[in-house]
Amino acid sequence: MKEFDYIVVGSGAAGLTFALKAAKVGSVALITKRKLSDSNTAWAQGGVACVISEEDSFDMHIRDTLECGAGICKEETVQMIVKEGPEAIRELMAAGMEFNRRDKEDGTDELDLGREGGHSKRRILHWKDITGRAIEDALVARVKATDGITVFEHHTAVDLITTGKLGYAMQDSCVGIYALDEKSGNVITLRSDVTVLATGGCGKVYLYSTNPDIATGDGMAMAWRAGAVVANMEFIQFHPTCLYHPEAKSFLISEAVRGEGGILLDGKGRRFMERYHPKKELAPRDIVARAIDAEMKRTGSKCVYLDISHKEKEFVRERFPHIYATCLKLGIDITSQPIPVVPAAHYQCGGIKTDLNGETTLRGLFAVGEVACTGLHGANRLASNSLLEALVMASRAFAKSSRNRKEPVEFILPEWRPGEAGAVDEMVVIYHNWDEIRRLMWDYVGIVRTDKRLFRAATRLRNLHSEIQEFYWNFKVSTDLLELRNLVTVASLIVDCALNRKESRGLHYTLDYLATDDEKYLRDTTMRRT
């Protein structure tokens, strides 16, 4: 058993920020199931939404966020994160992050602010079109230079260890975790009074996603199994513009392309967004994604097109160098050709329910970043608010977890017992179930839903859950098996939450209940394992 003052699971912006702060006052175990730099953060292109310009205001950013969230945002949370955003940005820049700047007429320069859908002002700080990677690199470099952080790369968290599971008659608390060392195949035991889940989202529960392969909902599933409350999992955001190309996998075409003037066209080159929303291409993501889905179904097309070729070629190449280079390798010159795009699963707006300090309903357990449901995003996330939330909430979670620190209670945690489990004899079973989950979620629990499709999904997921549980208990754990176990859990939570919301709101759109019902459903959808 290895003991630490803090355990952090996940190495994106939220996890790294918390670890850097915690290392100043105690020992930190930082667990990541791939390399330290592999995270959802690293895939973020657009940037960080924050009030910086004198032409902008907190009130406007708050209003945009609330409007996008379709009534489900918690206003107290929105105000807090928006107002604490500038300080979080200052700290990030002090940690080595650079954002794009532009020259002013008086010879000085200022931060170059982009604009994205749903925002009434330019407030997106960015580094070219690879902002997430730049943030990740800056924070990883700082972590590597910081004493007190023990990094466990290629370790997959298996489950939380709670006093309830250990049989103690005290208030149920999280006191550590089990984690699989992928290289040795052994499961290690880590002990701490403070465990922070910063594991990102669950995009890989869907067949088509903009997320990396690591986004399998691990933190969500572990927290659920441990008894923490989860909320609003029906609100899965589909990004409107994922590159449609047989050789491209999960490549996002940033919302910033539309923010800089990109227009959406159907297969015949006709603009169509004016029929769906007055803001056209700059409408909130849920509206744009549904519009594209509707156009594809109406015309029978496999994709639509995003065209920014009317802008100056030099501007396009300079503003979107990563998108330009990637598309060019695939034979698409975005300075002269439209980009084929389709919607894809992108972000979970729900998650482990937390308070304003990232505390979950399970004592000793915190959740920050995409894995958490703080109330900021409501029924639909405003573009580029996610990285802001990660930075602010990581700081608040550290402050709360470190306030009035006491000597840790002594627990001798039991070692992992593999029992009589043998090595997996047929990996095809894992891969088949993984594929089936992702396909049924895409077909039955996608952008447009019906009760009939949801019930079909629920029935099949129950059967899959039983099959996977049997597999889990009979064979030694592996990363693939653990991810599959987590995927079926998260998929079931999404479906169950969707079945409990008999209305259309934000990202949850059902043909059986097209109206929004404020009287019954102007609230969170909360669930807890019993």
Q: What is the CA radius of gyration of the chain?
A: 22
Greatest alpha-carbon pair distance for the chain in Å reads: 74
CA–CA gap between residue 330 and residue 246 (Å, rounded): 9
- Tell me how far apart the alpha carbons of residues 59 and 63 are, in angstroms, rounded to a whole number: 6
Q: Phi and psi (nearest 5°) for 329?
A: -60, -25
Rounded CA-CA distance 70/61 in Å is: 15
Contact 523, 350 (CB under 8 A): no
| Straight-line distance from the first to the last Cα atom of the chain, in angstroms, rounded to the nearest whole number | 29
Cα→Cα distances 129→62, 135, 330, 438, Å: 25, 12, 18, 29
3-class DSSP assignment, residue 468 = helix
* Residues 474, 422 contacting (CB under 8 angstroms): yes
> Which token pair is 358?
């990232």
Phi, psi (degrees; rounded to nearest 5) at 178: -100, 140
Residues 6+ apart with CB under 8 A from 40: 12, 132, 200, 201, 203, 211, 212, 214, 215, 370
Strand 351-353 to 372-373 pairing: parallel
Q: Active-site residue among 115, 191, 285, 485? A: 285
Residue 365 is encoded by which pair of tokens?
């357990």
Could you tell me if 492 and 440 are in contact, meaning their C-beta atoms sit under 8 angstroms apart?
no
- Cβ neighbours of residue 500 under 8 Å, at least 6 residues apart? 234, 525, 527
Q: Is 285 a catalytic residue?
A: yes
Instruction: For residue 345, give the nearest of 201, 232, 199 by alpha carbon.
Output: 201
CA distances from 291 to 221, 254, 382, 435 (A): 32, 17, 17, 27
**Alpha carbon distance 427, 398 (integer Å):** 40
* Rounded (5°) CA angle 294-297-298: 80
By annotation, the residues acting in catalysis are 285
